[in-house]
């Protein structure tokens, strides 16, 4: 059965029966909320046809891995999935799967929005002890951005260093760029996928127009085929039925909806997905953090001083317009488009209501991603929403958390030597053979120890 949005869907395709300007736009190249509001994730689930990630699956992950769920799972950052339950079934039976994620290198360094899927993918690799392939779509960015082939390849190499610095197990990780890897079995799978997708279908999924060059139209199979283990014969030879799990933001869903439609027709397993919400721009939740607007993003190359400046100047706050009003009414953290005097009429002193309002204020939102202490986060939400904590105090704590994360990342990146690149990636002069990863898949079965954990 084909997996595609409902008819008339303007979300994720740019086309449909209703006027596009009345709808939120969510596709791999643009994320914009309706009328300056928030992204409606319930609507995305309904229209994309994926499933909400239920609490029971989070608890099952904890039971199977013997470790606490990542904060991105506990707090609903990763909120939707396709067949994630089947991946857990595979793991529980003692069988294998692999992870696939990627990055389109269009900037010198990663920002925090780019870090989210890599941080979560590292958790999955560590928890399940599985191999990972990471695709750098330098060809895509060359076609969508005003970049030369040479510049796209250079950015891919720089981004690979940031990705390796996230701490992946290099004996189970293979990083490749499209310009340097596509060919052989990988290209054969691209052709198989391309033959199954009509022009009308790809226009319906991605919203391409007559003004788009053929490079864009031909790209989707490139991102699709890392979902198939036969695309990596040096890693997964003879393992064509190996299941694939893709951690990604939900704007990438159209690629893999297409992939899942095609996979059974060419004799492959459908990839499973676990999908995240967007890491918002500093200015608010109307869209995701973007490398095209440096003032909307915090980069892993930013200094502590730079982070402090960006948070204090640009991070949208729900605090009141005076300390007196803030102490009296608390922060307006949900109804951001109304005037504060009107909202204050409806504020409740009930702490549960206060917590619900703590989702739009950007400093609180960012702390929900990166402050690991649940008790401290709940305390900040309660105190700030009730007016007992000021905006400056919340921003100060956020600056501390982000600065610590960036400093740790910068130290890790400085340790990414040419030798590390050689073992982890496929670039000219540094051709990763994947022998260690292949050994893990081929020779090292999962087993249970006396504590019922997998090694």
Residue 308 sits in a domain whose CATH number is 1.10.240.10
**Residue 422 in domain:** no
CA–CA dist 238, 240 (Å, integer)? 6
Burial 54-74, CB ≥16 within 10 A → b, else e: eeebbebbbebbeeebbbbbe
CA–CA dist 367, 380 (Å, integer)? 9
Asked if 109 and 223 sit in the same domain, the reply is yes
| Residue scoring higher pLDDT (191 or 288) | 191
Of the listed ranges 76-80, 93-97, 290-294, 394-398, the one predicted with least confidence: 290-294
**Residue 296 in domain:** no
| Whether pLDDT at 8 is above 50 | no
- Rounded mean pLDDT of 53-66? 97
> What value, to the nearest 5°, has the Cα angle with vertex 191 and ends 189 and 192?
65
Contact 288, 280 (CB under 8 A): yes
Asked if 313 and 243 sit in the same domain, the reply is no
Per-residue pLDDT, 333 = 58
Contact 282, 362 (CB under 8 A): yes
Asked if 227 and 88 sit in the same domain, the reply is yes
Per-residue pLDDT, 349 = 42
**Residue 6 in domain:** no
| Whether pLDDT at 182 is above 60 | yes
pLDDT band at 9 (very low <50, low <70, confident <90, very high): very low
CA–CA dist 99, 80 (Å, integer)? 17
- Rounded mean pLDDT of 231-243? 94
Asked if 264 and 344 sit in the same domain, the reply is no
Asked if 404 and 355 sit in the same domain, the reply is yes
**Residue 269 in domain:** yes
Q: Structurally, how many domains does the chain consist of?
A: 2
Average pLDDT, the chain: 83
What are the angstrom distances between the C-alpha of 33 and each of 21, 23, 243, 290?
10, 8, 34, 14
pLDDT band at 419 (very low <50, low <70, confident <90, very high): confident
pLDDT band at 35 (very low <50, low <70, confident <90, very high): confident
Q: Which domain holds residue 255?
A: 20-277+430-443
Identify the H or E element spanning 407. helix 391-414
**Residue 421 in domain:** no
Asked if 28 and 113 sit in the same domain, the reply is yes
Asked if 178 and 96 sit in the same domain, the reply is yes
CA–CA dist 193, 199 (Å, integer)? 12
Per-residue pLDDT, 279 = 92
Per-residue pLDDT, 164 = 94
**CATH number, position 119:** 3.40.50.620
Per-residue pLDDT, 436 = 41
Asked if 318 and 193 sit in the same domain, the reply is no
pTM score: 0.84
**Residue 331 in domain:** yes
| Whether pLDDT at 16 is above 80 | no
Asked if 67 and 203 sit in the same domain, the reply is yes
Asked if 228 and 112 sit in the same domain, the reply is yes
Of the listed ranges 265-279, 323-337, 386-400, the one predicted with least confidence: 323-337
Q: Name which of 258, 318, 252 is nearest 288 in CA terms.
A: 252
Structural tokens at position 228: 């198939």
Query: What's the pLDDT tens digit per position in 193-210?
Result: 999 999 999 999 999 999
Burial 141-150, CB ≥16 within 10 A → b, else e: bbbbbebeee
Asked if 127 and 258 sit in the same domain, the reply is yes
| Whether pLDDT at 149 is above 90 | yes
**Residue 212 in domain:** yes
Q: Name which of 198, 197, 215, 217 is nearest 207 in CA terms.
A: 217
**Residue 186 in domain:** yes
Asked if 140 and 54 sit in the same domain, the reply is yes
């Amino acid at each position: 059965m084909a997996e595609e949005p409902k008819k008339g869907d303007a979300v994720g395709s740019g086309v449909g029966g209703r006027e596009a300007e009345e709808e939120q736009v969510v596709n791999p190249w643009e994320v914009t909320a309706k009328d300056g509001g928030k992204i409606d994730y319930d609507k995305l689930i309904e229209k994309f046809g994926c499933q909400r990630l239920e609490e029971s699956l989070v608890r099952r992950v904890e039971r199977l891995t013997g470790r606490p769920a990542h904060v991105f799972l506990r707090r609903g950052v990763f909120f939707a999935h396709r067949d994630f339950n089947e991946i857990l079934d595979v793991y529980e039976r003692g069988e294998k799967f692999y992870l696939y994620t990627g990055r389109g290198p269009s900037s010198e360094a990663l920002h925090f929005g780019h870090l989210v899927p890599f941080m979560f993918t590292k958790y999955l690799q560590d928890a399940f002890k599985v191999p990972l392939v990471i695709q750098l779509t330098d060809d895509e960015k060359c076609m969508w951005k005003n970049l030369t082939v040479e510049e796209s390849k250079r950015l891919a190499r720089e981004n690979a260093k940031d990705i390796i610095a996230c701490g992946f197990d290099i004996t189970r990780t293979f990083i490749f760029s499209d310009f340097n890897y596509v060919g052989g079995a990988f290209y054969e799978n691209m052709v198989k996928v391309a033959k199954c997708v009509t022009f009308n279908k790809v226009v319906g999924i991605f919203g391409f127009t007559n003004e788009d060059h053929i490079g864009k139209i031909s790209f989707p199979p490139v991102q699709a085929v890392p979902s198939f283990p036969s695309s990596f014969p040096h890693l997964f030879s003879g393992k064509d039925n190996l299941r694939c799990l893709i951690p990604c933001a939900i704007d990438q869903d159209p690629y893999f909806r297409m992939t899942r439609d095609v996979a059974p027709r060419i004799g492959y397993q459908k990839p499973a997905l676990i999908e995240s919400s967007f890491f918002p721009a500093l200015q608010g939740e109307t869209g995701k953090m973007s490398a095209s607007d440096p003032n909307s993003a915090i980069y892993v190359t930013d200094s502590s001083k730079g982070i402090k400046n960006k948070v204090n100047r640009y991070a949208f706050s729900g605090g009141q317009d005076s300390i007196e009003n803030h102490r009296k009414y608390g922060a307006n953290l949900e109804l951001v488009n109304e005037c504060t005097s009107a909202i204050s009429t409806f504020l409740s002193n009930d702490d549960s209501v206060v917590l619900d309002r703590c989702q739009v204020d950007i400093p609180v939102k960012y702390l929900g991603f990166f402050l690991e202490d649940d008790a401290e986060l709940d305390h900040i939400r309660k105190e700030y929403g009730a007016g007992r904590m000021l905006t400056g105090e919340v921003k100060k704590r956020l600056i501390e958390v982000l600065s610590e994360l960036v400093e740790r990342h910068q130290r890790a990146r400085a340790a990414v030597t040419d030798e590390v690149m050689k073992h982890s990636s496929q670039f000219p002069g540094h051709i990763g053979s994947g022998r260690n990863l292949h050994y893990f898949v081929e020779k090292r079965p999962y087993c249970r120890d006396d504590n019922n954990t997998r090694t």
